[in-house]
Amino acid sequence: MKPPWKILMATPLFFLLTLHTLASPAYDHQPGTRRSKGQVCIALQHSFPCDVADFCSLAGCVLVVSVIEQLAQVHNSTVQTSMERLCSYLPEKLFLKTTCYLVVSIFGPDIIKLLKADVNADVVCHTLEFCKQDPGQPLCHLYPLPKESWKLTLEKARQIVKKSPTLTYSRSGSDICSLPFLAKICQRIKLAIQNSLPFKDVDSDKYSVFPTLRGSHWRGRDCNDSNKMAYPGRRPDNWDTHQDSNCNGIWGVDPKDGIPYEKKFCEGSQPRGIILLGDSAGAHFHIPPDWITASQMSLKSFFNLPTALTNELDWPQLSGTTGFLDSTSRVKENSIYLRLRKRNHCNHRDYQNISRNGASSQSLERFIESLSRNQLLDQPAIVIYAMIGNDVCNGKIDPVPGMTTPEKLYSKVMETLQYLDSHLPNGSHVILYGLPDGTFLWDNLHSRYHPLGQLNKDVTYAHLYSFLSCLQVSPCHGWMSSNKTLRTLTSERAEQLSITLKKIATSQKFTNFNLFYMDFDFQESVCVCVHAPQSRRSGRRAEGSSASSLNPWMDSTLVRWLYSCWQIASGRRCSSSGPRSWERRIHSTSRLSRCLETKGGTKSSGTPAPGELRKAETWVNSFKKWLWERLCHKLTGPSSAASLQSAFLPFKSLVSLSSLPLCHFWGWLPK
């Protein structure tokens, strides 16, 4: 589904949204899918999101006109002033500010006339024909309908602008890439994003020194873009005596003993990379609320807009799997890559985020070849398969027929696993994530005001969901619907697909990797209380250290860390009151988040009283015994994913499910 470009001519905010819309349609596994012919309003499209802030998907024209109107209201100014104010907020990069002023000069007069006539954004966009309703098609609107009939209101509005030259632009359907001097670069960007490969890659090794456009925000930064044999994740060439062949920053020879630093620090440390095969949740699709909340807009609001646009409105550098930068939001990410790197600095830069907005099991084959791993030259990898939404999510009026069936899922996943088996080095690991139950979207959000409706209390998430569903661009009509039966059917299909993935994990064996399955539960809080401090940066413990440090359970630093974690989970920290039962405490996501945000979960709050310390030690010992006897020893001998799953299932609310099967090869527990 390729949306029309004409809205780009009317919305400064989406000047380079071509990068996003070219990258992928809303439902990438259905190439023939198109929205209703009568509704051609462009919408920001993304797959199943991973947090509340990600639901800011609005038709571009309605969004921008709404923001203009609300800026005038917030600052008690004219519409002309509010349009100029919006332009002043945009950065100079990518010509965003210049383009904004140009667009205002073209469309501003008509928008001013229509808003003075006291019509809302829906009427403005229909009048300017950015949204066109054909006979027999439903009327899609975000705001309440006018008191007069829609036909009469629209007729009056059209009389106001009937002689305007603006309509010529909106009817033309032309886009910024149609300009001759931009056509070539647009084509290059389109191919780079469609193939999920870096736009700038001199040596064609699939790694780049450029951060965006599928560059180092998505995969480790290339340390030598003129040498195809130097890239993150490869085994060191002659222990990197003369150059850094694996880009982890470790190379050369120690003059004291003549031993290469790579050999000294990394030999035997079992370095490995992390690779994510995902959709927009894995790519960390996100539209900051202050981009569309007039009362919060300022000069600082859009400073990261150029980066976001050239990353397809994704933020992989902040993702939970491959993120490596500190988030500016209150929620701090602790990605799997950062955990691997902290455990072993030899893993530096060895990450790949092969995720795509709109991706599903049915479309992965189109871009999985962008994965970079050489069976002979590279280190093993941990691959996470997390297509968590689009196999059940689409925007059709009746979404059920468009959902992936268990049979189709089985076939495509097996194709993916066979591809991985032929490309991953021996000793790798693959984890299949199940699909979540997305019913919480409607249950928790439908009555809340969307950022666009907070000022006047006129747009709830239910209104937004209905608007997107009418346009047939809803990210997930099955779960974002007032129809409870439809929501239930969507959850049932998601459960069927998860069972299929679990069946694959328990029944299939592969030559070059072990296969695991993990449930994906959005509604469970995570308290990861398994971590062993390292005595050297590379991840290897210093030779000659005391015997107690060889056993992480006897390390006093770890005991203090676990004591802090126990305090959080049992409600003894960050809150003087709270739920009584253990299960309710461990589900208190907000309190745990506040604790972790203030680093309360990683630092002990003073010297514990003897009685408290004994309680903590008792809990630590019982936790250690369970983790070893019920889980980790199963990974050191003959085991199956089925026995693994049954082992930790009763305790899945206690420990991060995504980290448990990794304990044996991350070295967190003794064997």
In the chain, the amino acid numbered 332 is K
CA dihedral in degrees (457, 462, 464, 465; nearest 10)?
180
Same structural domain, 209 and 163: no
- Give the residue, 417 or 597, on which the prediction is more confident: 417
| Torsion sign, CA atoms 584, 589, 594, 599 | positive
Residue 3 lies in a domain: no
Q: pLDDT tens digits, residue range 419-436?
A: 999 999 999 999 999 999
- Of 276, 232, 656, 271, the C-alpha closest to 430 is 276
How confident is the model at residue 430, as a pLDDT?
96
Q: Domain tally for the chain? A: 2
Residue 146 lies in a domain: yes
Overall average pLDDT of the 495-520 stretch: 96
Mean pLDDT highest for which of 262-266, 628-632, 645-649?
Answer: 262-266
Q: In the numeric block, which tokens belong to residue 15? A: 């000047």
Picking from 500, 529, 558, the residue at the C-terminal end of a domain is 529
How confident is the model at residue 592, as a pLDDT?
44
| pLDDT band per the 50, 70, 90 thresholds, residue 612 | low
DSSP 8-state assignment for residue 378: B
| pLDDT band per the 50, 70, 90 thresholds, residue 137 | confident
Task: Provide the phi-psi class of 200: left if phi over 0, else alpha when psi is between -120 and 50, else beta.
Answer: beta
| pLDDT band per the 50, 70, 90 thresholds, residue 281 | very high
User: What are the residues whose beta carbons fall under 8 Å from the beta carbon of 163, sequence distance 6 or more?
Assistant: none
Same structural domain, 278 and 164: no
Same structural domain, 356 and 425: yes
Overall average pLDDT of the 618-638 stretch: 51
Residue 555 lies in a domain: no
User: Which residues constitute the domain of residue 126?
Assistant: 53-170
How confident is the model at residue 489, as a pLDDT?
97
Overall average pLDDT of the 266-288 stretch: 95
How confident is the model at residue 65, as a pLDDT?
95
How confident is the model at residue 268, as a pLDDT?
94
DSSP 8-state assignment for residue 449: B
How confident is the model at residue 626, as a pLDDT?
55
Picking from 504, 529, 554, the residue at the C-terminal end of a domain is 529
Overall average pLDDT of the 295-304 stretch: 95
Same structural domain, 162 and 232: no
- Cβ atoms 251, 243 nearer than 8 A: yes
Overall average pLDDT of the 242-246 stretch: 97
Residue 350 lies in a domain: yes
* Distance of alpha carbon 277 from alpha carbon 390, whole angstroms: 13
Residue 655 lies in a domain: no
pLDDT exceeds cutoff 90 at 667? no
Overall average pLDDT of the 526-555 stretch: 33
- Give the residue, 419 or 613, on which the prediction is more confident: 419
Mean pLDDT highest for which of 124-138, 190-204, 459-473, 491-505?
Answer: 491-505
Q: pLDDT tens digits, residue range 15-39?
A: 333 333 333 334 555 444 433 333 3
pLDDT exceeds cutoff 90 at 352? yes
| Torsion sign, CA atoms 461, 466, 472, 476 | positive
How confident is the model at residue 621, as a pLDDT?
61
Q: pLDDT tens digits, residue range 44-94?
A: 233 333 332 223 333 788 999 999 999 999 999 999 999 999 999 999 998
- Of 594, 592, 563, the C-alpha closest to 579 is 592
How confident is the model at residue 340, as a pLDDT?
93
User: Is the pTM above the cut of 0.85?
Assistant: no
Q: In the numeric block, which tokens belong to residue 381? A: 């990898």
How confident is the model at residue 521, as a pLDDT?
61
- Give the residue, 18 or 367, on which the prediction is more confident: 367
Catalytic residue positions, numbered:
280
Overall average pLDDT of the 335-353 stretch: 95
DSSP secondary structure letters along 245-314? SSSSS--SB-TTT--BHHHHHHTTS---EEEEEE-HHHHTB---GGGT-GGG--TTTTTTHHHHHTTTTB
Same structural domain, 395 and 454: yes
pLDDT exceeds cutoff 60 at 589? no
Q: In the numeric block, which tokens belong to residue 46? A: 């993304």
Same structural domain, 458 and 362: yes
In this structure, of 107-111, 166-170, 295-299, 585-589, the range with the lowest mean pLDDT score is 585-589
